[in-house]
Amino acid sequence: MINVNVTKPLGKITVTASFSVADSGITVLFGASGAGKSSVINMIAGLLTPKSGHIVINKKTLFDSSGKINLPPEKRGVGYVFQDSRLFPHLSVRKNMLYGVKKKEKDGGADWEQINSLLGLGGLLDRYPDKLSGGEKQRVAIARALLSQPDILLMDEPMAALDAFRRDELIHYIAKLPALFNIPIIYVTHTMDEILRLADYVGLMSDGALINFGPALRVLNSNDIAEMLPERDFGVICEGRALSGGENELGIVSFGGGHIEVATGNLRAGGRVRFRIPAMDVVLSKTRPTTVGRNVYAGTITEVRERDLLADILINIDSDEESTHLWARITRLSFKETGLAPGDRIYAMVKSVVASSQFYELY
């Protein structure tokens, strides 16, 4: 459905990106500010013209340098949600939503009720933008983009200006869009939590170049992203199914390494869950702990990376299911004192309370 191969010199860098996505999930472009993420989606939208390459969406060619094709933005069938909502201040919510609707469907067409219901806009239709919260403005901007019946939805850090509560609220709406409207989304962010909760595919950008692209779990556990993350975010990303929704205040998730218990009652039994186990929250022991019974995994050290003050230790977990691993981070001094080395048997422990803030239900 999406085929992008573009090159564009911009200042001191040249933005280059080549990727293909075959379904209507959410593709997240991740990288530091200035990495070229927004430039890529601006080229797809027609707001920036590539020097060379092509852009094809649903077999419709939007740009092709060799064929001298460059459709104007209004002819591309692209919906765009910016960092700021860019609503018209003199128009009501209803009129903002209907702004991009085709003339023959000025009532909003068949999607009006579904979009209104999904985004919870029924009570806001007669208000004006200055009477809306930041999260409400972004929901209206999303509704306006969807009502134009685009072939693809582009979102450029739509939650960058929102507080944590509003981000958490809006992310639930965004996660449901591809399945409900059969529409692919390309989403730009530099926030790991948004990737964990939304991404089906991830593209990593650095200094203008797309350095890694593929299914979310593969890219999120790659060496490339490890080099891009702050210390608190480095770890392993897993997916599983919630076996328990939180009896006795503990949720239980089955994953490749067995089961993990987490101190949260917010999981829906049977729901698909993606979670992160930060390396700094993994405790190691050469002998099986006798005082801690939950979230203890036996395994073998397969790799050690020593740095100035820290050591990162990769552990393959013993499991009858798929191969799973954990990263643990300890000080380099502790690593030397314990004498750990590749091939050693080890026990890794993850506290239920520590893990609780890292679990996200997927839609």
Secondary-structure class of domain 2-229 per CATH: alpha beta
Write the CB contacts of 205 (distance below 8 Å, at least 6 apart in sequence): 17, 29, 30, 31, 35, 36, 37, 40, 211
Nearest 10 degrees: Cα torsion 69, 70, 76, 78? 130
Q: Per the structure block, which two tokens stand in for 69?
A: 């094709």
Maximum pairwise Cα distance, the chain: 75
Q: Which residues of the chain have pLDDT under 50?
A: 104
What is the pLDDT at residue 118? 87
pLDDT tens across 10-50, in order? Answer: 988 999 999 999 878 999 999 988 999 999 999 999 999 99
* Domain boundaries, given as residue ranges, for the chain: 2-229, 235-361
What is the pLDDT at residue 38? 95
* Residue in this structure with the two tokens 């020593």, named with its chain if needed: 306
What is the pLDDT at residue 165? 85
Upper half-sphere CA count for residue 350 (Cβ side, 13 Å): 29
What is the pLDDT at residue 179? 87
What is the pLDDT at residue 346? 94
Q: Per the structure block, which two tokens stand in for 52?
A: 């060379």
The radius of gyration of the chain from alpha carbons, rounded to an integer in Å, stands at 23
What is the pLDDT at residue 359? 81
Distance, CA of 238 to CA of 311 (rounded, Å) = 22
* Residue in this structure with the two tokens 């989304």, named with its chain if needed: 185
Q: Per the structure block, which two tokens stand in for 172?
A: 């639930």
What is the pLDDT at residue 106? 55
Secondary-structure class of domain 235-361 per CATH: mainly beta
Distance, CA of 346 to CA of 15 (rounded, Å) = 44
What is the pLDDT at residue 108? 54
What is the pLDDT at residue 267? 77
What is the pLDDT at residue 248? 59
